[in-house]
Amino acid sequence: MPRWPPFRRPTGLREAALALAVALAVLLPLTVHAPGLLRDLETASLDLRFRLRGALPPGPETAIVLVGEDSIKRLGRWPLSRRLYARAVELLDRAGARVIAFDLLFAEAEESVPGEWRDAAREAAGRLRDLDDAAALRSRLARLADDRPDAVLAASLKANGNVLLPVAFSSFSGEPEDAPAVLADHAFQKLDPSPAEPVFPLQPTKVLLPVPVLAEAAAGLGHVNMAFDRDGAPRYDYLALPFGGDFVPSLPVRAAATYLGVGWSEVGLALGEGVRIGGALAPADQAMRLVINYRGPRGTVPTYSFADLYEGKLDPALFKDRIVLIGASFTGIADAYPGPFGSTPVPGTERLANVIDTILSGGFIRDSPPPWPAVVIALVAVLAVAIGIAGALLPTGLMLFAGTVPVLAWAAGMQLAFAHGLWLPLVAPVAALTAATAAVLLYRYGFVEGQRRVVQRAFRHYLAPELVEELAAHPERLQLGGETRMLTVMFSDIRGFTSISETFKANPQGLSRLINRGFLSPMTRLIMARRGTIDKYMGDCVMAFWNAPLDDPDHADHACESALAMLAELDRINGELAAEARAEGRPFHPIHIGVGLNTGECVVGNMGSDERFAYTAMGDAVNLASRLEGQSKTYGVAIVLGEATRAAAPSWAAIELDLIAVKGKAEAVRIYTLLGDAACARTPEFAALSDAHAAMLAGYRAQDWAGARAALAQCRGRDPRLEELYGLYEERLVHFAAHPPSADWDGVFVALEK
């Protein structure tokens, strides 16, 4: 039956599954419910994105006039008289300002003269009506009675027709008040279909309005309440807030609509989606919040002094066709807030200008709109799988660097998305990818690297270092417990070891050094350098095999190459040992070895008991290799190849030795000796030797003793390594000539010794 190859899990599957599971386990809970710290980090990352983007020039639509400390010194104490604001409105009207929006809450009437004083002055003026000499006094009393700054400002507002005033919600708990009629007139008049259910975290219950005379004179009202983050920074504007059954717009929405000439009844509110002004949509989240696209740090929007405006020191062209926001910013007034571009607070009026600029320019920043949350999860999953695969393919040291690549790529992608108006999460995905990388590294160190170290410890004495690394990197190629593989097995033994040992009777340590230095160590290096696996050392004998634990399609060739290299190295070692023996005045016994090579199916793996085991090979092919090594003494050659090895390595220079039945086996096998590499096999000298040798064997097996001896004579003298072999056949031919075998003799030599 055919042997199916074992199923192997694709490389990196476990690591990829682990990274994916960890990344999703971190990301999904943070996506559903982000803790406060995560929110702080995410908003900090948004500020960083602003700074990386850099300041942008604002649009030409807005300008700011601020009452600063210098204006107060020049125009009087705070609060300034509303007569001054009335004058400012008149000046801006003449300059051609298209919209004027106050960021000053005129919630209380300005009483320059107490009311009872005005009543008294009015009564006194009436009593003086018939006194001619009291005309001047009567006029002054009348002016005193009619001193109403709010009315002066209201007149300016009506004359201009495009002045907007703010309202402020002062409470978000308790029972809500009824919406004043004047506020209801300025709430959204048009409700568009709502694609999502709105969620209002702020539910106002009380409102501060301008005094009635100003509220009635204003062209529009809008709230100036801010959406503060946990760190106290206003990153959003509430485009609409619910109050008394209506939805009140923000002041920037009213300013943008008025500037664009869109009638208020045509401005549509789509809850959970945004506000539609003409054909453009100002997008919002479910809480009707718009992310403010700050153009830059404080002062980015053109800002001018109120005193300079009032005193006529500013060029009217600065305000032509603009939205002019009038506010206040000085020490002692709490109307400056953190911005994304640095530590310098941004005046609240400039915040409003940035909101207006965001709406008019269309430079909206969407906070993870659909379907981006799902896309983010999918992208993190893909990157996590890539981290897992990289963790399986890359060395651990390189994985530390490679693990930062997805994080850096995500950060770069988020900055690119921000440049295109998307605020996608940075912190939670980075946390998920970092956790995935850490999990893969811990898995690598705790399991894979542990498995690697086990493999390295188990095979560093058997395999060349580069093969150990390859096996440790891919332990799935190793089937522990035993598997059947086609191996080429080598046994190598020292000839005359007993005689050598006798010369070291008084120096056993010297014998140990000789064996280790002169045989085991150099032969081991040669074998492992050619992809061989050292099975064991047995005194002066080395057992090795090829094609396990790693595949080696050329295992027979590598075994033959190793055998020849061992003989060449041994000649060099004998030269060094001879020189040392002469220098020390002791006898020298050269080291000679016999090598047996055989190829066949073997069982290879960790064999032994539960307490002690070793990686080894077993099987009939192993036993035959051991017998062939022993036959090197019989035939007087250094290397004996089995028939299967010769068939697996046909290009090498080898000649047949005999047809032999080794001890313990009834079946005869052909054996060969190895004389050289493929280049040697192509030489004319080897071809002549091979032909003469084949003729000698043919005559021998045909019982043509005379013909065999004639062919043997042609073989003599061609290769000194074969002289002992040809001496053996000379003896056989003489013997069989005198004592012919039976007619059914098959030429098989039965070995009686191992």
Return d(Cα 180, Cα 642) in angstroms, integer.
109
506 contacts: CB under 8 Å, gap ≥ 6:
none
Nearest to residue 566, comparing CAs of 601, 528, 599, 536? Answer: 528
Question: Residue 553's pLDDT is what?
Answer: 95
pLDDT for 608 beyond 70: no
Contact yes or no for 188/249 (Cβ under 8 A): yes
Nearest 10 degrees: Cα torsion 670, 672, 678, 683: -110
Nearest to residue 752, comparing CAs of 625, 596, 617, 631? Answer: 631
Contact yes or no for 672/664 (Cβ under 8 A): no
Q: How many CA atoms lie within 13 A of 424 on its CB side?
A: 25
Return d(Cα 350, Cα 62) in angstroms, integer.
10
Return d(Cα 290, Cα 272) in angstroms, integer.
11
Contact yes or no for 8/476 (Cβ under 8 A): yes
The β-bridge partners of 543 are 491, 536
Give the model's confidence band at 1: pLDDT under 50 very low, under 70 low, under 90 confident, else very high: very low
Return d(Cα 573, Cα 703) in angstroms, integer.
43
One-letter amino acid at 718 equals: R
Nearest to residue 206, comparing CAs of 171, 235, 238? Answer: 171
- H or E stretch at 749: strand 748-750
Return d(Cα 739, Cα 449) in angstroms, integer.
69
Return d(Cα 146, Cα 124) in angstroms, integer.
13
- List C-alpha distances in Å: 125 to 138, 146, 148: 5, 12, 17
DSSP 541: E
Q: What angle do CA 490, 494, 498 make, to 5 degrees?
A: 145
Contact yes or no for 146/152 (Cβ under 8 A): no
Instruction: Tell which CATH classification among 3.30.450.40, 3.30.70.1230, 3.30.160.270, 3.30.420.40 matches the domain 478-750.
Output: 3.30.70.1230
pLDDT for 503 beyond 50: yes
Contact yes or no for 605/480 (Cβ under 8 A): yes
Pick 281 or 401 by higher pLDDT: 281
Nearest to residue 231, comparing CAs of 419, 38, 424, 418? Answer: 38
One-letter amino acid at 364 equals: F
Portion of the chain with pLDDT greater than 90, in percent: 61
The pLDDT tens digits of the residues spanning 154-192 come to: 999 999 999 999 999 988 887 878 878 889 989 999 999
Return d(Cα 143, Cα 125) in angstroms, integer.
10
- Beta-carbon count within 10 A of 351 CB: 26
Nearest to residue 296, comparing CAs of 61, 58, 42, 59? Answer: 58
pLDDT for 144 beyond 60: no
Nearest to residue 429, comparing CAs of 54, 127, 8, 23? Answer: 23
Bridge pairing between strands 653-661 and 748-750: parallel
Portion of the chain with pLDDT greater than 70, in percent: 86
Contact yes or no for 459/468 (Cβ under 8 A): yes
Question: Residue 71's pLDDT is what?
Answer: 94
Return d(Cα 359, Cα 357) in angstroms, integer.
5
The pLDDT tens digits of the residues spanning 634-650 come to: 999 999 999 999 999 99
Greatest CA separation found in the chain?
A: 181
- Beta-carbon count within 10 A of 499 CB: 9
To the nearest 10 degrees (0 to 180), the angle between helices 723-738 and 620-635 is 80
- List C-alpha distances in Å: 594 to 540, 601, 633: 11, 23, 7
- List C-alpha distances in Å: 38 to 31, 35, 45, 428: 10, 5, 10, 7
- Beta-carbon count within 10 A of 712 CB: 22
Give the model's confidence band at 684: pLDDT under 50 very low, under 70 low, under 90 confident, else very high: very high
The pLDDT tens digits of the residues spanning 342-397 come to: 888 999 999 999 999 999 999 999 999 989 999 999 999 999 999 998 888 887 77
Percent of the chain as helix, strand, coil, to the nearest 5: 50, 20, 30
Q: Is the peptide bond before 114 cis (omega within 30 degrees of 0)?
A: no
The pLDDT tens digits of the residues spanning 562-592 come to: 999 999 999 998 888 888 888 888 778 788 9
The pLDDT tens digits of the residues spanning 218-269 come to: 999 999 999 888 888 999 999 999 998 899 999 999 999 999 999 999 999 9
Question: Residue 238's pLDDT is what?
Answer: 96
DSSP 365: B
The gap between the terminal CA atoms of the chain, to the nearest Å, is: 35
Return d(Cα 146, Cα 260) in angstroms, integer.
38
Lowest mean pLDDT across 326-335, 344-353, 449-458, 688-697: 449-458
Return d(Cα 472, Cα 466) in angstroms, integer.
10
Write phi, then psi, for 595 (nearest 5 degrees).
-125, 130
Residue keyed to tokens 């939670």: 428
**Domain extents in the chain:** 13-53+368-456, 64-110+152-365, 113-146, 478-750
Please compute the mean of the pLDDT values over residues 502-512 and round it to a whole number.
Answer: 72
Take residue 307 and report the two structure tokens written for it. 């005193």
- Beta-carbon count within 10 A of 30 CB: 17
Nearest to residue 697, comparing CAs of 744, 749, 640, 650? Answer: 749
Contact yes or no for 266/278 (Cβ under 8 A): yes
pLDDT for 13 beyond 90: no
Q: What angle do CA 6, 554, 691 make, to 5 degrees?
A: 140
Mean pLDDT, the chain, whole residue set: 87
549 three-class SS: coil
- List C-alpha distances in Å: 307 to 71, 92, 95, 750: 5, 13, 16, 125
